[in-house]
Chain A
Amino acid sequence: MTPFEIGTLSVIAIVVLVYLGVYIPIALGLVSFVSIILMRDNFDLAVNLLKIAIGDSVMEYTFATVPLFTFMGLIVSKAGLGADIYQVMNSGFKRVKGGIGMATVGANAVFAAVTGSSIASASVFSKVSVPQMLAFDYNPRFAVGVVAGSSVLGMIIPPSAMLIIYSFVAEQSVGDMFLAGVVPGLMLAGAYVVAIFLMGRLTPDYVGGRPAEETEWMSPLEIADKTLPTLILIVAVLGGIYTGWLTPVEAGATGALLGLIIAAIRKKLTLQSAWQALLETGHITASILFLITAASIYSRMLGLAGLPNELGTLLTETQMTFFWIMVIYVAMMIFLGTILDTASIILIVVPLFLPLVEPMGLSLVWFGIITVVGAEIGLLTPPLGISCFVIKATLNDPRISLKDVFVGAFPFALVMLVVLIALIRWPSLSLAILN
């Protein structure tokens, strides 16, 4: 079998196994193991690959960002920072048609800067913002759609577990990836706000809702009280990384400690809930890093098969254009996005495309932003759309079905696709902040 055949067959095998319900890391690991045996007829070599990949991938210093930012996100959620930001935003947007929706997007964008995951965003905002929208007679589908759509900001605006994972696969600096995520994240947030505005104008019935009659403005003191902790965290974490005072790992640790202190000061933290957050952090870290380890077995198997070299040759022979590579790439991510989580998509697709993208002289930082945004679309698409699942589970409201969440999220998935195309077309949107 040629490397190309092995590569293709292994991808198909993995997709089939994953569809059947095999644990994703196990599918990646087993398929890689069997591929090597088939390819080289050498059991020991397959064992050796496991040996080298298992310890190696976890030992990466920058991976400490995964538990640290996860923990920080969980602690600030418990401290109620997301809810506070939302209330501040809401007092400003209340009178606009779809205003609570816009406030949700804005609050998500700010909250995204202190949490590393979309899951945290989805669960926080389905609790604070959906009930309020329903109280103002918004269409339930619109309400959950806004929360689902804006939750993806959590993983595009830094800190972000997905940017970290990409930086590992593509060997880019985590700091660079974080900085590159800022503008695309804000752009997506802006695009959502515009989309909500247009929906309010063009399909007012779909949006629903009534403007608030009385507007009580928050006092400056109240606003400060609700925004200051978040601002401090953003300055410490992103400022620390941007200026170089802190490595991303150190910024994560600083953020986690500050989060703990803030939560303690606000008396939102019991020993038990801190322990819960730590436990949760450990579980998430272990499952993400085990997945990364398995994906690294898989990408090394492809390397051993010589697939990257083969793809490079294929590229020069077929003269495939940038346009078509991107079309295939985006299509593949959206397809895998139906059933896989974001991390798995990145880990499966990136090793296949890096050898195509790198020789074209394209920026790998830019490519990472494209990848993360593209893979995040899958959070909103059925049958497996994790953000939508989380919202459904958190709301636990019989009036809102999972289908409602997916239908509501669909317009936002389309907006993401449009933003993705813009990001592909104009790489400087992602890269300008780096230079």
Chain B
Amino acid sequence: TETIKAVVIDGYPARAMWVQEFTNFFIPEVDKRLAETGNYKMDWQESYGGSIVKPKGVLEGVKLGLGDIGIVTTIFHSSKLPSQALAAVTPFIAPDSRAVAKAVDEIAKEFPTMQKEFEAQNQVYLATGVVLDTYQVFSKDPIESLSALEGSKVAGAGMNLRYLEGIEGAAGVRGGLTDFYNMLQTGLVDNAMLWPEAAKTFKIAEVAPYMLKADLGAVNSKTITVNKDYWDGLPDEVKSVLQDVAVAYRDHVAGIAMDRAEASRAAYVESGGTVVEMDTAERAQWAQAMPNIAVEWAAGLDAKGEPGSDMLKAYMAKLSEAGFTPVRDWSAELTQ
């Protein structure tokens, strides 16, 4: 039996759900599968929570060989990993982590673009993870319609601030998840976009007791990657075990995300929150009002000679095959 050392890095702490599942699911699963033949054995060194890299530094850490395997939070890297924004630029389709994880991962494997982007960062793509089921709008005041968002301040982060662009007078205020409670409490913002599990963790029900169930959609944010030089040195058996387990991990994590989302919604109601179902027509109106950032995204990739438009079409097709009807067909507006 040959022993192979593997340094796993993430900048998030060990208690973060996807990190915890890496320890409790990914690693034992790899060990188990390798033990079946007994040719190889892994010697894991897990370095999380900033001990080697910060959350934003995982991509570079794997690139530079400070970690062999990493959990890259892709939303930080709009510039190096533009194609990873796929789910973020296509809201109002699927509030389901499992479906989005599977669709994005298949796109990554059927089209060369995502893998090429990681390859340029000296790493090999294994699988996509989705840890948030869907963004919702949490509000201080009773909220039912889109007009309630007009002229209000809405806390958000990253790409989701662009969802507000079509709403009259709505101002997106950037903030970290940990700030949302205070921002709502003081009235710095009237609403916040976050997902139910985060709402539960940060006791959002206390300050924003109304959840507008807008189902903006699940977003991919985590990718498991392996340093290219390290990968090239791995035996084929280990490579294929890592690839298979990564896919299993993808589904495992997405499943947990969905279970937690359900439980979190229940907890939100229990602690005094009211869930208001957003009217279908209102959702459609919101989706219509937004700029088509999906087309912008595709055009950006097309311009670089990547099949952006085709990826967008294929992604929408995959989700509709899985039974999700988009509120707005982003790909229908493609010109190419």
The answer to whether B188 touches A52, judged by C-beta atoms less than 8 angstroms apart, is no
Give which listed residue, B13, B53, B56, B186, contacts A244 with CB less than 8 A. B186
> With A51-B64, A244-B188 in contact, do A300 and B179 touch (Cβ < 8 Å)?
no
Q: Is B37's beta carbon under 8 Å from chain A?
A: no
A296 to B19, CA, bound (A): 22
Q: Is A91's beta carbon under 8 Å from chain B?
A: no
The 7 A-B residue pairs with the shortest CB-CB distance, nearest first, are A244-B182, A303-B51, A48-B64, A303-B52, A244-B186, A245-B186, A308-B51
Q: Is A171's beta carbon under 8 Å from chain B?
A: yes
Residues of A within 8 A of B13 (CB): 171
Q: List 30 A-B contacts (CB under 8 A).
A: A44-B65, A45-B64, A45-B65, A48-B64, A48-B65, A49-B66, A51-B64, A52-B61, A56-B53, A56-B57, A171-B13, A171-B49, A175-B182, A243-B185, A243-B186, A244-B179, A244-B183, A244-B186, A244-B188, A245-B188, A300-B52, A302-B51, A303-B51, A303-B52, A304-B52, A304-B66, A306-B45, A306-B47, A308-B47, A309-B46
How many contacting A-B pairs (Cβ < 8 A)? 60
Interface of A is mostly: helix
The answer to whether A244 touches B47, judged by C-beta atoms less than 8 angstroms apart, is no
The answer to whether B47 touches A309, judged by C-beta atoms less than 8 angstroms apart, is yes
Scan residues 250-309 of chain A and give those whose CB is less than 8 A from a CB of chain B: 299-300, 302-304, 306, 308-309
Residues of A within 8 A of B186 (CB): 243-245
Scan residues 134-181 of chain B and give those whose CB is less than 8 A from a CB of chain A: 178-179, 181
Q: Is B313's beta carbon under 8 Å from chain A?
A: no
A309 to B51, CA, bound (A): 10
Hey, what's the 0/1 contact readout for A36-54 against B, CB within 8 Å counting as 1?
0000000011001101100
The answer to whether A244 touches B185, judged by C-beta atoms less than 8 angstroms apart, is yes
A245 to B179, CA, bound (A): 10
Q: How far is the CB of A205 from chain B (nearest CB, A)?
A: 53
A355 to B52, CA, bound (A): 13
Chain B residue nearest to A57 in the complex (CB)? B54
Q: Is B50's beta carbon under 8 Å from chain A?
A: yes
A247 to B188, CA, bound (A): 11
The answer to whether B47 touches A303, judged by C-beta atoms less than 8 angstroms apart, is yes
Residues of A within 8 A of B47 (CB): 303-304, 306, 308-309
A243 to B186, CA, bound (A): 6
Residues of A within 8 A of B50 (CB): 171
Chain B residue nearest to A173 in the complex (CB)? B178
Residues of B within 8 A of A51 (CB): 64
